[in-house]
Amino acid sequence: MCASRRDTFSKVRREGQKRPAIAAGVIVLALLSAGGLRLEAQEKNPYAGDAKVAKLGEYQFRSNCAFCHGLGGRGGGRGPDLTRAQKHHGNTDAELFHNIHDGIAGTAMPAATNGGIGVGMSDEEIWQVITYIRSVEKKASAAETGDAAHGKELFYGATGCGTCHMMNGKGGRLGPDLSSTGASRSVEYLTESLRNPSKRLAQGISEPLKDFSEEYETVTVVTSDGTKLQGLVLNEDSFTVQMLDTREQLHAFEKVKLRSYVKTRESLMPAYDVKTLPDKDLKDLIAFLLAASEKGGGQ
């Protein structure tokens, strides 16, 4: 009788020990399944091609994204043009989801969560935004724009662009690096930048494609001995200024020792009007910028 009771007690105890283990296993499987579902959700847009969802995404975009990326996603003061098929930080739905959800480290792009852009976005709202972005994308290629080979000749030759601008490691340092510009800016934006370079500079718009946005301010100084220098402000505080002149020479000055110190929002870049740069040449130059970005090399 006692032996029988002991056997029964041992069996019950063993069954009791199994239950927490089974429960723990079920919890682990549930978590793994949830993680798998979430991972799958981040890989593929569940609303791809849905015009009604794209409309909802436009509302979310205007509320949370347009301040940096502009209305219609065509680029703004800090964010690149999102209507371009080739994007600087990835082109797939999964990459877009990650960039919006988690932000892009080292850039002005914050995470779409509370404390990030300030208004938390759900995964569903992020997919709505991606659906909207896909609906406004334009797939203009270099070939449709102009002759990239001739544009390259112009860039490093007649127009003198390569004197001030870097393209994939080749060129000057006075102006913005243009290596990624063709993939991140619209044809309209590039056209305006060539025809009227001071317009965006006057608005305080800088170089948003760098990891940290850098403004370009023109400065003219007259030193104590009467030497006049013009160039770009690199660093400045209340007492000193560091500048890069038009010959790419670096200078550091104490402001109190300068005869004159003037900053302006007038670009050092000349305005290429139709007489200076005919429309065909303009298209060829833009075609070179597009092709260089598409191939990842401007040489």
DSSP string, 117-173: TSS---HHHHHHHHHHHHHH-B---HHHH--HHHHHHHHHTTT-HHHH-EETTEE-S
DSSP string, 197-219: THHHHHTT--BTTSSS-B---EE
State residue 87's pLDDT score.
78
State residue 204's pLDDT score.
44
Beta strands in the chain (DSSP E): 166-167, 170-171, 218-222, 228-236, 240-245, 250-254, 260-264
State residue 64's pLDDT score.
87
**Residue 104 near residue 235 (C-beta atoms within 8 A):** no
State residue 198's pLDDT score.
85
Residue partners of 236: CB distance under 8 A and separation at least 6? 242
Tell how many helices (H) and how many strands (E) occur in the chain.
Answer: 12, 7
Would you write out the chain's pLDDT as a tens digit for each of its 299 residues? 445 555 554 554 555 555 554 444 444 444 444 444 444 456 789 998 899 999 999 999 998 888 888 888 877 667 788 887 777 788 888 999 999 998 888 888 888 876 555 567 899 999 999 999 999 887 655 556 789 999 999 999 999 999 999 998 899 989 888 887 776 677 888 898 899 988 766 444 444 444 334 567 899 999 999 999 999 999 999 999 999 999 999 999 999 999 999 998 888 999 999 999 999 999 999 999 988 876 654 33
**Residue 287 near residue 191 (C-beta atoms within 8 A):** no
On whether the pTM is more than 0.75, the answer is no
200-220 CB burial, b ≥16 within 10 A, e <16: bbeeebbbbbeeebeebbbbe
Tell me whether strands 260-264 and 240-245 are parallel, antiparallel or unpaired. Answer: unpaired
Residue partners of 125: CB distance under 8 A and separation at least 6? 60
- Dist CA 19 CA 16 (whole Å): 5
CA dist 267 → 99, 176, 218, 247 (Å):
32, 12, 6, 16
- Dist CA 117 CA 100 (whole Å): 10
Tokens for 163? 């004197």
